């Protein structure tokens, strides 16, 4: 059975985490610290436990650098904070979306 695109992305995410090629936006660090008392290490730990079932949608980035944004399930019970991972050439940028 062929692997899903989401499973392949999660493998790339694990490799990027191992290679220190995952970066958090300032806003993501501030929200994680302020709302959840998490540091950057806690964010990376969260990323390591994402599963295919956590995937929500894939959309193109509108940033000048381009890339694809992988959106995963809300981090909060009220569904207001979504995990967004923008995959760009040789890196993954972590941000959160309040919605």
Structure tokens at 75: 């981090």
The Cα–Cα gap between 86 and 22 comes to 10
Residue 55 C-beta-side C-alpha neighbours within 13 Å: 15
What does the pLDDT read at residue 1? Answer: 45
Cβ–Cβ < 8 Å for 71, 79 = no
Using CA atoms of 43, 44, 48, 50 in order, give the dihedral in degrees to the nearest 10. Answer: 30
What does the pLDDT read at residue 33? Answer: 86
Do β-strands 55-60 and 68-74 pair in parallel, antiparallel, or remain unpaired? antiparallel
pTM of the model: 0.86
pLDDT band at 2 (very low <50, low <70, confident <90, very high): low
Domains of the chain, with CATH numbers?
A: 5-98 (3.30.2310.40)
pLDDT in tens, 33-76: 888 888 999 999 999 999 999 999 999 999 888 899 999 987 77
Cβ–Cβ < 8 Å for 40, 18 = no
């Amino acid at each position: 059975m062929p692997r899903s695109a989401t499973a392949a992305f999660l493998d790339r995410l694990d490799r990027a985490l191992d290679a220190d090629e995952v970066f958090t936006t300032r806003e993501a660090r501030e929200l994680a610290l302020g709302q959840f008392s998490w540091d950057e290490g806690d964010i990376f730990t969260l990323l390591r436990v994402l599963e295919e079932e956590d995937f929500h949608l894939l959309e193109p980035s509108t940033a000048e650098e381009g890339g694809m944004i992988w959106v995963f399930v809300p981090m909060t019970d009220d569904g207001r904070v979504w995990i967004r991972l923008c995959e760009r050439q040789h890196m993954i940028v972590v941000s959160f979306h309040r919605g």
